[in-house]
């Protein structure tokens, strides 16, 4: 049976890298039924469309979404991020952002579980007296027991399936209200997982450890803002952002999950055939794993870990990986 996948190539190098991801998935023998959606900065520039509500409703009948990258220099900052990416996360309840990092050269093999629908990105805040000398701006962080707990439980389940170690990252000594909720919930849920060893890092300390000794980590769980920052740093220490895959998951499966590379649209190199599609291909492997196609996902991840497939050119890398997974 074919999996129904919504394809959002997006902007810049997005369509190029997603094409290679689909090529590799096809080479594994997994059958996809794809539906293409024209969204992103270029679409907004043409007719003002960002993400219609009726499109979200259409997506609920899909098994997954596979996104390349969105954003163009002409579009005001934040418009696509809030109007498309964040709207998608909230509407489809993609409450877990999962980022795996593997880099054999430095013995790196850890995953970050980032809460994906709350925190500083929930949109709570406002402005008074804008443009005056007395301007006031507030930006709150929304943390609910339900949202925090379900993310932490996902992280404990993941750690239990791996090496059995989970680290909570926050800033409890300063962010005393949200930090207290996260820490209490973490400790309470930990009692249900006696075989999972736990630890706590302040976020500033975690940034140091990511650079100096990232091999100490197995699974990390953190809030939305800290997770956004830490996962970009994780990409930098594990082979570069061109290797960084991600999944925006609805573990309850009440709607489709979304899978995307995290490198952005890179308009400066779009159309030149030089973008590295590995992150998109690995994101495709995460999608297959979530859909139960574990053998195909394993083959893709195993081949992508071999430096020999990192040849020159977008299509050449896709061809090299596709040849070996078929």
**Active-site residue list:** 121, 171, 204, 228, 232
Positive/negative CA dihedral, 200, 160, 279, 12: negative
* 239: three-class secondary structure by DSSP: coil
Cα distances from 177 to residues 35, 147, 170, in angstroms, run 44, 15, 11
Other Cβ atoms within 10 Å of 175 Cβ, number: 17
Dig out the tokens for 299 from the structure: 């083959």
87 alpha-carbon distance from chain centroid:
15
Beta strands in the chain (DSSP E): 3-10, 32-36, 64-69, 96-103, 108-115, 125-128, 136-139, 165-170, 197-202, 219-222, 245-249, 257-261
CB 236 within 8 A of CB 224: no
Find, among 105, 208, 219, the residue nearest to 157 by Cα.
Answer: 219
CB 4 within 8 A of CB 302: no
* 260: three-class secondary structure by DSSP: strand
């Amino acid at each position: 049976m074919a999996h129904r996948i919504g394809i959002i190539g997006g902007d810049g190098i997005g369509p190029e890298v997603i094409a290679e991801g689909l090529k590799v998935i096809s080479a594994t023998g997994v059958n996809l039924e794809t539906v293409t959606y024209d969204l992103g900065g270029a679409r907004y520039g043409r007719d003002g469309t960002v993400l219609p509500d009726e499109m979200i409703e259409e997506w609920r009948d899909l098994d997954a979404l596979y996104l390349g990258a969105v954003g163009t220099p002409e579009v005001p900052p934040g418009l696509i991020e809030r109007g498309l990416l964040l709207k998608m996360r909230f509407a489809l309840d993609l409450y877990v952002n999962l980022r795996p990092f593997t880099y054999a050269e430095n013995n790196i093999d850890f995953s970050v579980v980032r809460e994906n629908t709350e925190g500083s990105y929930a949109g709570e805040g406002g402005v008074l007296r804008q443009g005056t000398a007395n301007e006031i701006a507030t930006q709150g962080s929304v943390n609910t027991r339900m949202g925090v707990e379900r993310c932490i439980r996902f992280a404990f389940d993941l750690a239990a399936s791996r090496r059995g170690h989970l680290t909570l990252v926050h800033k409890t000594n300063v962010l005393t209200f949200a930090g207290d909720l996260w820490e209490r919930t973490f400790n309470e849920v930990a009692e249900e997982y006696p075989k999972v060893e736990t630890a706590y890092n302040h976020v500033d300390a975690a940034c140091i450890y990511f650079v100096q000794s990232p091999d100490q980590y197995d699974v990390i769980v953190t809030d939305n803002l800290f997770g956004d920052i830490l996962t970009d740093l994780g990409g930098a220490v594990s082979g570069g952002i061109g290797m960084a895959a991600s999944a925006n998951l609805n573990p309850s499966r009440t709607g489709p999950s979304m899978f995307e590379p995290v490198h952005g649209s890179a308009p400066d190199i779009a159309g030149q055939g030089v973008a590295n599609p590995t992150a998109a291909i690995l994101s495709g492997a995460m999608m297959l794993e979530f859909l139960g196609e574990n053998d195909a996902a394993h083959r893709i991840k195993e081949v992508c870990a071999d430096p020999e497939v990192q040849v020159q050119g977008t299509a050449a890398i896709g061809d090299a990986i596709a040849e070996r997974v078929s």
